[in-house]
Structure 1
Protein backbone atom coordinates (compact mmCIF):
# COMPACT_ATOMS: atom_id res chain seq x y z
CA UNK A 1 0.00 0.00 0.00
CA UNK A 2 1.45 3.35 -1.04
CA UNK A 3 1.95 5.95 1.64
CA UNK A 4 -0.10 9.09 1.04
CA UNK A 5 2.03 12.20 0.49
CA UNK A 6 0.51 15.16 2.20
CA UNK A 7 1.42 18.60 0.99
CA UNK A 8 0.40 22.14 1.75
CA UNK A 9 0.68 25.17 -0.50
CA UNK A 10 2.74 28.03 0.88
CA UNK A 11 4.07 31.23 -0.64
CA UNK A 12 7.81 31.84 -0.74
CA UNK A 13 9.45 35.13 -1.62
CA UNK A 14 12.93 35.00 -3.12
CA UNK A 15 15.28 37.29 -5.00
CA UNK A 16 14.26 37.85 -8.62
CA UNK A 17 17.52 36.44 -9.99
CA UNK A 18 16.97 33.15 -8.13
CA UNK A 19 13.39 32.90 -9.38
CA UNK A 20 14.57 33.61 -12.94
CA UNK A 21 17.22 30.90 -12.68
CA UNK A 22 14.67 28.38 -11.42
CA UNK A 23 12.27 29.29 -14.24
CA UNK A 24 15.09 28.85 -16.76
CA UNK A 25 16.04 25.46 -15.27
CA UNK A 26 12.42 24.32 -15.40
CA UNK A 27 12.10 25.48 -19.01
CA UNK A 28 15.24 23.61 -20.05
CA UNK A 29 14.22 20.44 -18.22
CA UNK A 30 17.05 20.68 -15.70
CA UNK A 31 14.46 20.49 -12.91
CA UNK A 32 10.98 19.01 -13.09
CA UNK A 33 9.29 21.86 -11.26
CA UNK A 34 10.21 24.90 -9.21
CA UNK A 35 7.94 23.75 -6.39
CA UNK A 36 9.57 20.30 -6.19
CA UNK A 37 13.06 21.81 -6.32
CA UNK A 38 12.29 24.28 -3.52
CA UNK A 39 10.61 21.57 -1.40
CA UNK A 40 13.60 19.23 -1.81
CA UNK A 41 16.03 22.04 -0.97
CA UNK A 42 14.11 23.00 2.16
CA UNK A 43 13.86 19.34 3.21
CA UNK A 44 17.65 18.98 2.90
CA UNK A 45 18.20 22.10 5.03
CA UNK A 46 15.73 20.90 7.68
CA UNK A 47 17.48 17.52 7.78
CA UNK A 48 20.91 19.18 8.24
CA UNK A 49 19.57 21.48 10.95
CA UNK A 50 17.96 18.58 12.83
CA UNK A 51 21.15 16.51 12.50
CA UNK A 52 23.25 19.36 13.87
CA UNK A 53 20.83 19.78 16.78
CA UNK A 54 21.25 16.09 17.65
CA UNK A 55 25.04 16.37 17.40
CA UNK A 56 25.03 19.47 19.62
CA UNK A 57 22.85 17.61 22.12
CA UNK A 58 25.45 14.83 22.33
CA UNK A 59 28.37 17.27 22.67
CA UNK A 60 26.54 19.67 24.94
CA UNK A 61 27.10 22.42 22.35
CA UNK A 62 28.76 22.92 18.99
CA UNK A 63 31.34 20.22 18.16
CA UNK A 64 35.03 21.19 18.16
CA UNK A 65 36.25 23.01 15.04
CA UNK A 66 38.54 20.14 14.02
CA UNK A 67 35.58 17.76 14.00
CA UNK A 68 33.48 20.21 11.99
CA UNK A 69 36.30 20.55 9.47
CA UNK A 70 36.70 16.76 9.18
CA UNK A 71 32.98 16.49 8.37
CA UNK A 72 33.30 19.33 5.86
CA UNK A 73 36.28 17.61 4.20
CA UNK A 74 34.23 14.43 3.76
CA UNK A 75 31.65 16.51 1.90
CA UNK A 76 34.33 18.21 -0.20
CA UNK A 77 33.91 21.57 1.54
CA UNK A 78 36.79 23.84 2.56
CA UNK A 79 37.73 24.07 6.24
CA UNK A 80 36.40 26.90 8.35
CA UNK A 81 38.65 29.38 10.12
CA UNK A 82 38.17 30.16 13.81
CA UNK A 83 36.36 33.38 12.84
CA UNK A 84 34.00 31.61 10.45
CA UNK A 85 33.27 28.93 13.04
CA UNK A 86 31.87 31.57 15.37
CA UNK A 87 28.96 32.21 12.93
CA UNK A 88 25.37 31.24 13.66
CA UNK A 89 24.91 28.84 10.74
CA UNK A 90 28.13 26.84 10.74
CA UNK A 91 26.93 23.28 11.20
CA UNK A 92 29.04 20.22 10.71
CA UNK A 93 28.70 20.31 6.96
Structure 2
Protein backbone atom coordinates (compact mmCIF):
# COMPACT_ATOMS: atom_id res chain seq x y z
CA UNK A 1 0.00 0.00 0.00
CA UNK A 2 2.73 2.46 0.95
CA UNK A 3 4.75 1.42 -2.11
CA UNK A 4 1.86 2.38 -4.39
CA UNK A 5 1.64 5.83 -2.79
CA UNK A 6 5.37 6.45 -3.30
CA UNK A 7 5.13 5.37 -6.93
CA UNK A 8 2.11 7.63 -7.45
CA UNK A 9 4.06 10.58 -6.02
CA UNK A 10 7.03 9.81 -8.29
CA UNK A 11 4.79 9.60 -11.35
CA UNK A 12 3.11 12.87 -10.37
CA UNK A 13 6.49 14.61 -10.04
CA UNK A 14 7.41 13.29 -13.49
CA UNK A 15 4.53 15.35 -14.88
CA UNK A 16 6.16 18.66 -13.98
CA UNK A 17 9.88 18.07 -14.61
CA UNK A 18 9.70 18.39 -18.44
CA UNK A 19 8.23 21.88 -18.05
CA UNK A 20 11.46 23.08 -16.42
CA UNK A 21 12.98 23.03 -19.91
CA UNK A 22 11.09 26.25 -20.66
CA UNK A 23 12.79 27.99 -17.74
CA UNK A 24 16.23 26.71 -18.73
CA UNK A 25 15.81 27.66 -22.38
CA UNK A 26 15.26 31.29 -21.42
CA UNK A 27 19.02 31.55 -20.76
CA UNK A 28 21.37 32.46 -23.60
CA UNK A 29 23.78 29.61 -22.87
CA UNK A 30 20.97 27.06 -23.32
CA UNK A 31 20.32 28.18 -26.90
CA UNK A 32 23.85 27.51 -28.19
CA UNK A 33 24.43 24.45 -30.34
CA UNK A 34 25.99 21.69 -28.25
CA UNK A 35 24.14 22.58 -25.07
CA UNK A 36 20.73 22.78 -26.74
CA UNK A 37 20.97 19.33 -28.30
CA UNK A 38 22.18 17.76 -25.07
CA UNK A 39 19.39 19.33 -23.04
CA UNK A 40 16.67 18.33 -25.48
CA UNK A 41 18.09 14.81 -25.72
CA UNK A 42 18.21 14.41 -21.93
CA UNK A 43 14.70 15.77 -21.45
CA UNK A 44 13.37 13.54 -24.24
CA UNK A 45 15.02 10.48 -22.70
CA UNK A 46 13.53 11.40 -19.31
CA UNK A 47 10.08 11.76 -20.87
CA UNK A 48 10.37 8.32 -22.48
CA UNK A 49 11.57 6.84 -19.16
CA UNK A 50 8.68 8.52 -17.31
CA UNK A 51 6.16 7.10 -19.75
CA UNK A 52 7.56 3.59 -19.52
CA UNK A 53 7.89 3.81 -15.72
CA UNK A 54 4.28 4.93 -15.31
CA UNK A 55 2.85 2.34 -17.71
CA UNK A 56 4.87 -0.47 -16.12
CA UNK A 57 3.83 0.43 -12.59
CA UNK A 58 0.21 0.93 -13.56
CA UNK A 59 0.05 -2.56 -15.04
CA UNK A 60 2.45 -4.50 -12.78
CA UNK A 61 1.51 -3.14 -9.36
CA UNK A 62 -2.21 -2.71 -10.09
CA UNK A 63 -1.81 0.88 -8.93
CA UNK A 64 -4.99 2.14 -10.56
CA UNK A 65 -6.20 5.09 -8.51
CA UNK A 66 -7.52 8.27 -10.13
CA UNK A 67 -4.25 10.22 -9.85
CA UNK A 68 -2.31 7.33 -11.36
CA UNK A 69 -4.74 7.20 -14.29
CA UNK A 70 -4.12 10.90 -14.94
CA UNK A 71 -0.36 10.33 -14.71
CA UNK A 72 -0.68 7.38 -17.09
CA UNK A 73 -2.35 9.49 -19.76
CA UNK A 74 -0.05 12.49 -19.48
CA UNK A 75 3.22 10.57 -19.04
CA UNK A 76 2.18 8.28 -21.88
CA UNK A 77 1.81 11.31 -24.15
CA UNK A 78 5.13 12.69 -22.87
CA UNK A 79 6.73 9.35 -23.69
CA UNK A 80 5.44 9.40 -27.25
CA UNK A 81 6.53 13.01 -27.80
CA UNK A 82 9.94 12.27 -26.26
CA UNK A 83 10.43 9.23 -28.51
CA UNK A 84 9.52 11.30 -31.56
CA UNK A 85 11.95 14.04 -30.51
CA UNK A 86 14.74 11.48 -30.08
CA UNK A 87 13.99 9.97 -33.48
CA UNK A 88 14.03 13.41 -35.11
CA UNK A 89 17.39 14.15 -33.49
CA UNK A 90 18.81 10.91 -34.89
CA UNK A 91 17.63 11.57 -38.44
TM-score of Structure 1 vs Structure 2, range by shorter chain: 0.3 to 0.5
- If asked which structure has higher relative contact order (CA below 8 Å, sep 6+), I would say 2
TM-score, length-normalised on structure 2? Answer: 0.39
Please tell me whether Structure 1 or Structure 2 has the larger radius of gyration of its CA atoms: 1
Structure showing the higher helix proportion among its residues: 2
TM-score, length-normalised on structure 1? Answer: 0.38
